[in-house]
Structure 1
Amino acid sequence: MRARVVVFPIKGRTWCFARTLDPPSGPHPSSSSPPLSWKDLWTTISSGGRPARENAEVLVDFVADKMNRGWSALEKAPPGTVKSKIHSLGLKLLSRVKPSEIFLKSVSKDITKLEITYPASLNPRLVRRRLRHIAIRGSAIHKKYFYGSISLVPLTSAFSVLPLPNIPFFWTLFRAYSNWRALKGSERLLLLASDCPSLWNSLTNKEELDDVKHPLRNAPHPPLVLQPSDDLEKVLTIEEDEDSVSNEAISKICERYHLDKNDVIKYRRKFGKKKKKKTSLNGILATHLNFFSMIPMDEKSDDFEVEMATLVKSSPVLMKSQNMGTCHIGSFVDFSQPCSLSRVVQRIFKSIRIVIFQAKINLLLPFGPLAIILHYLTEKHGLVFFFSLVGIIPLAERLGYATEQLALYTGPTVGGLLNATFGNATEMIISLYALENGMIRVVQQSLLGSILSNMLLVLGCAFFSGGIVHYNKVQVFNKASAVVNSGLLLMAVMGLMFPAVLHFTHSEVQYGESEVALSRFSSCIMLVAYASYLFFQLRSHHNVYNPIDEEEGNNDEDSDEEEAPEITQWEAITWLAVLTTWVSILSGYLVDAIQGASESLNLPVAFISVVLLPIVGNAAEHASAIMFAMKNKLDITLGVAIGSSTQISMFVIPFCVVVGWIMGKKMDLNFQLFETATLFITVLVVAFMLQEGTANYFKGLMLILCYLIVAASFFVHVDPAASDG
């Protein structure tokens, strides 16, 4: 099959590569259309004679065809409907796809001849090497993105438990398929753009050589045909002030060569946010010749500099209104080689050293595998519980570290959402495992204990440590943000109080059923309130959460500079996936050993759930809150301690109720009277401590002592729900 590609410089160093929308002109149609139904798919796969790789490609094409049909149905949806809004959201996401990826996806495997149309002033060797560059670079990039998207598919599939469309799952699935298509397109383009027939044979597998339709078998002419165009040269005009092709020229080119205008404009839009500056001669040459860094040195001739000067000088498209002068090209052409495998391995080992060996708390990591070994070799549930508990501590701390590193790349808004999502990931994972095993009281008490631990123990230790370090100062924080969080915590207390009161006063319509229905309704309301709180905090009233500027703090010699990330964005995502998986595994063994540990250690299950489990889950918050308080950054301390309590009470608890609703578990907001009263008194005490907007070591000491009273109370408390069950 033949295909035509139009190539021309569009802005700065950016060249536009776009395939025409014309139907194939060859006598042979496309290799094979995907099956239309599941029956046709089964017939195609079970017919035999196909290797497993081709069957996998048929399956992928079938799924892609189904998704394209669904997308076409969304396009035809009436305005204002849910399908129309989903289509608008999809268009916004698709607008972020790079245009080079769209071009590489258009180079399908059944293309046997590629006709390249380019401005006549450009040298054909320049065009060919540009094509090879985008093919080589695209192969490396999309292979990395493909494996990254595949690794995110299992994580995003967990959102399927929610009664909402799993948009993250389908988006990562689409990105995996899109990068796979771009990877195959880059390999095909590199094959077609090769300079010598021997390379065609080396890059072509035996199946393609055995196919009589393949153009590379005994082909007298290369499969890449370069066609200089004087018409394209005339249409192509460069704007003097922006060094880019005008909109009028783009419209004419797209109309004449049947190109998708939106895809063409994307090449120019990538640089829209950069500061405008007049491009010098060296800048134009460097931007258009920088791609030669991908060319191996043995392909460059001895008179390479003279040849490149001739290529650029002969092109009025590249050198319009510029004087060549007496510049030396070799002084600004970068011949750096692409990243090798050894460099990738070095980067992996460096990331492991930073994340695993740099933190001393990771000395506790061996306790996790020991817990798994003891679980299968012995019946000592107490040791399994203890080792699992200790093994989760470094994982929770490193999970917070990876989240902070990823937040440095995403900005404050998305970073806040990431911290809200992964900040209490340990508690959420433990709760979901306990909920799946029907341990409703463990879920309720562990989440309640996490709130109490954050508000009393974590905040108390932070106030105490900060007050001791800054003994002669009055530490202040933003009182307005503390008031908002206190209001949300009181709302959470209200949501927990009414089901408990209904249960113990027997004033409900249907005993045991009305409180569950009320809990589910209240949980939905609390989730809406938390979503509104995030919008209030991150978007509409983010200035309310600005830290208070202190003149004394600005003069401190130990004031921190802007933090720079230590690991890359993809490394942070990979570590989040690895650490979350390990926390999930250890949480399963931890939950299974709770009952046996309670009997062997002679500790009440309520004490284990309310005191021991939250201390482990809050290890990261505990350490970071104390560190920021000692640095006199109390606003961050309150965001960690009180913000975490707000998130658990307004998001994690209602989320578990909704998940239990989906699982068929009667998870409700009836935390029993003793637990609800403890939470109510704790919220009142903390709200009273925060009302002045100041902190000192004595306030921290009082909060710590209050937590000791709460812990002792749960040690002697007999859970009525457990005795009833």
Structure 2
Amino acid sequence: MKFLRVLLIFVPISIIAKFFNFNETVIFILAALAIIPLAGLMGEATEAISIYTGPKLGGFINATFGNATELIISFFALKKGLFEVVKSSIAGSVIGNVLLVLGLSILAGGIKHKTQKFNKNIIEVSSSMLLFSVIGLTIPAIFTHTMDINLLNTKYEGLSILVGIIMIVIYILSLIFSFFTHKDIYAIEEIGGNSNHKVEKGWSMWKAIFVLLLATIVIAVESEILVGAVEPMTHALGLSEFFVGIIIIPIIGNAAEHSTAVIMAIKNKMDVALEIAIGSSLQIVLFVAPILIFLSLLFSPMSIIFNEFELVALIASVFIANRVANDGESNWLEGVQLLAVYIIVSAAFFIV
């Protein structure tokens, strides 16, 4: 990910722009460009740490920090009460990973290698878990959208907390499954998007920890700048906070990981590319979403009730992921189809 480090120049530039009160749209763009390479550094640091801690603990670290950038951005959005941005970013991360990242990976790999094969057993486990998790996450929304609101005897927030607890339990059980009871399935590829590509050589344990901590702190600063500019930027450009949350923020938070998936596909490592896309989505649903629900209790409780547009896009996306994983091979046309769906979905969200 060395080519992304050029963007680190935007870290001081964005801070200066904020200090001198530049245009909010400019500040948003500068902060977004600064976050992208910082997320890449965080990924490299967690991978380096996993080399020293071993595959089991390393897998847990990668799973925990894999979506840390988006978690930090969402935390500051929660702090400002931008609940729609937070909820739409959860849905957008899943949709973006399954349609955009997977589509680009399959297209890029398919152009070079025509037909690519991958370990069907590994991907089936992750894609099936993603399907069940997303269905569980969307059931409260389906229920509230189909029931008369006057018949509900509790608040949405209480239901969301219960769902969050269940998701965290499933997440812990999935780690036990992956790293203990059925670790033989993952003998070749470790679970989680950030654990599969080559790490820069020469990183000591302490260097990796220092880079991880420093990147996390700077991302927190940049995230606060980014979130602070969301409302003025959306008003200036005529965008909805909903569109920013479901399309823009997921791309910013996961850009480094997305580029890795495409590179792995070009190298004909489709097992890695698919696990990055599907595994990252799984972490969002089972780990990030529940954590954000619990963090919202520090400010104002947030319900995890998605709107109808998000529901349709989420469920359709995970069904597509399962379809792609069903036959154990992919080609460039499947990538084009996934990208076409993503473009259509993005256009629909843009006009909402």
TM-score range (shorter-chain normalised) is over 0.9
Alignment of 1:30-69 (within 5 A): none
Shift of 1:389: 0.7
- Residue 588 of structure 1 corresponds to which residue in structure 2? 224
Aligned equivalent of 2:19, options 376, 384, 403: 376
C-alpha separation in 1, matches of 2:74 and 2:287? 13
C-alpha separation in 2, matches of 1:640 and 1:461? 12
Runs (5+) with no aligned partner, structure 2: 190-196
- Residue 423 of structure 1 corresponds to which residue in structure 2? 66
- Verify the 8 A CA contact 1:463 1:700 in the aligned structure 2: yes
C-alpha separation in 2, matches of 1:503 and 1:658? 21
SS at match of 2:327: coil
Judging changes above 3 Å, is the alpha-carbon distance between structure 1 residues 530 and 389 closer, same or farther for their aligned structure 2 residues? same
Shift of 1:378: 2.6
- Structure 1 residues 567-604: Cα deviation after superposition (integer angstroms, max 9, x where no partner): 10110000000001000100001001001111112222
Judging changes above 3 Å, is the alpha-carbon distance between structure 1 residues 596 and 513 closer, same or farther for their aligned structure 2 residues? farther
Shift of 1:679: 0.2
Shift of 1:511: 4.4
Letter paired with 1:439: L
- Name whichever of 419-428 and 604-613 sits farther off: 604-613
Shift of 1:668: 1.7
- Verify the 8 A CA contact 1:495 1:669 in the aligned structure 2: no
Alignment of 1:165-184 (within 5 A): none
- Name whichever of 477-486 and 675-684 sits farther off: 477-486
Letter paired with 1:647: Q
Shift of 1:492: 2.6
- Residue 121 of structure 2 corresponds to which residue in structure 1? 480
C-alpha separation in 2, matches of 1:485 and 1:360? 30
Shift of 1:502: 3.1
Residues 1:546 and 2:191 are matched in the alignment: no
C-alpha separation in 1, matches of 2:171 and 2:148? 29
- Verify the 8 A CA contact 2:78 2:299 in the aligned structure 1: no
- Structure 1 residues 63-120: Cα deviation after superposition (integer angstroms, max 9, x where no partner): xxxxxxxxxxxxxxxxxxxxxxxxxxxxxxxxxxxxxxxxxxxxxxxxxxxxxxxxxx
- Residue 144 of structure 2 corresponds to which residue in structure 1? 503
- Residue 573 of structure 1 corresponds to which residue in structure 2? 209
- Residue 154 of structure 1 corresponds to which residue in structure 2? none
- Residue 88 of structure 1 corresponds to which residue in structure 2? none
C-alpha separation in 1, matches of 2:271 and 2:325? 12
Alignment of 1:25-104 (within 5 A): none
C-alpha separation in 2, matches of 1:394 and 1:500? 35
Judging changes above 3 Å, is the alpha-carbon distance between structure 1 residues 565 and 366 closer, same or farther for their aligned structure 2 residues? closer
- Residue 344 of structure 2 corresponds to which residue in structure 1? 709
Residues 1:636 and 2:277 are matched in the alignment: no
- Verify the 8 A CA contact 2:7 2:37 in the aligned structure 1: yes
Aligned equivalent of 2:42, options 382, 392, 399: 399
- Verify the 8 A CA contact 1:503 1:512 in the aligned structure 2: no
Shift of 1:416: 0.9
SS at match of 2:61: helix
- Residue 28 of structure 2 corresponds to which residue in structure 1? 385
Alignment of 1:319-468 (within 5 A): 359-378=2-21, 380-468=23-111
SS at match of 1:695: strand
- Residue 680 of structure 1 corresponds to which residue in structure 2? 315
- Structure 1 residues 471-505: Cα deviation after superposition (integer angstroms, max 9, x where no partner): 3xx32112122222222222232233222233223
SS at match of 1:671: coil
SS at match of 2:30: helix
Aligned equivalent of 1:493, options 124, 127, 134: 134
Letter paired with 1:701: V
Aligned equivalent of 1:604, options 231, 240, 251: 240
Scaled by the length of structure 2, the TM-score of the pair is 0.92
SS at match of 2:73: helix
- Verify the 8 A CA contact 1:364 1:390 in the aligned structure 2: yes
Shift of 1:539: 1.4
Shift of 1:688: 1.1
CA-based RMSD: 2.0
- Structure 1 residues 2-42: Cα deviation after superposition (integer angstroms, max 9, x where no partner): xxxxxxxxxxxxxxxxxxxxxxxxxxxxxxxxxxxxxxxxx
Residues 1:518 and 2:143 are matched in the alignment: no
C-alpha separation in 2, matches of 1:564 and 1:581? 22
Letter paired with 1:478: N
- Residue 254 of structure 2 corresponds to which residue in structure 1? 618
Shift of 1:563: 6.7
C-alpha separation in 1, matches of 2:325 and 2:268? 16
C-alpha separation in 1, matches of 2:285 and 2:199? 31
- Structure 1 residues 315-348: Cα deviation after superposition (integer angstroms, max 9, x where no partner): xxxxxxxxxxxxxxxxxxxxxxxxxxxxxxxxxx
Letter paired with 2:264: F
The structure richer in helix per residue is 2
Scaled by the length of structure 1, the TM-score of the pair is 0.46
C-alpha separation in 1, matches of 2:163 and 2:289? 11
- Verify the 8 A CA contact 2:39 2:253 in the aligned structure 1: yes
Q: Which has the higher contact order (CA 8 A, sep 6+)?
A: 2
C-alpha separation in 1, matches of 2:340 and 2:153? 37
- Residue 528 of structure 1 corresponds to which residue in structure 2? 169
Judging changes above 3 Å, is the alpha-carbon distance between structure 1 residues 509 and 480 closer, same or farther for their aligned structure 2 residues? farther
- Verify the 8 A CA contact 2:278 2:321 in the aligned structure 1: no
- Verify the 8 A CA contact 1:508 1:515 in the aligned structure 2: no
Letter paired with 1:681: A
- Structure 1 residues 125-165: Cα deviation after superposition (integer angstroms, max 9, x where no partner): xxxxxxxxxxxxxxxxxxxxxxxxxxxxxxxxxxxxxxxxx
SS at match of 1:366: helix
Letter paired with 2:221: I
C-alpha separation in 1, matches of 2:214 and 2:73? 16
C-alpha separation in 2, matches of 1:670 and 1:507? 15
Aligned equivalent of 1:666, options 282, 298, 301: 301
Shift of 1:562: 8.7
Letter paired with 2:308: L
- Residue 282 of structure 2 corresponds to which residue in structure 1? 646
Runs (5+) with no aligned partner, structure 1: 1-357, 549-560, 718-725
C-alpha separation in 1, matches of 2:157 and 2:227? 24
Letter paired with 2:293: V
- Verify the 8 A CA contact 1:497 1:676 in the aligned structure 2: yes
Letter paired with 1:476: K
Letter paired with 1:523: G
Letter paired with 1:377: F
Letter paired with 2:11: G
- Between the two proteins, what is the percent identity of the paired residues? 37
Shift of 1:375: 2.0
Judging changes above 3 Å, is the alpha-carbon distance between structure 1 residues 485 and 601 closer, same or farther for their aligned structure 2 residues? same
Shift of 1:514: 3.5
C-alpha separation in 2, matches of 1:490 and 1:627? 26
Letter paired with 2:343: L
Judging changes above 3 Å, is the alpha-carbon distance between structure 1 residues 564 and 659 closer, same or farther for their aligned structure 2 residues? closer
Shift of 1:508: 5.8
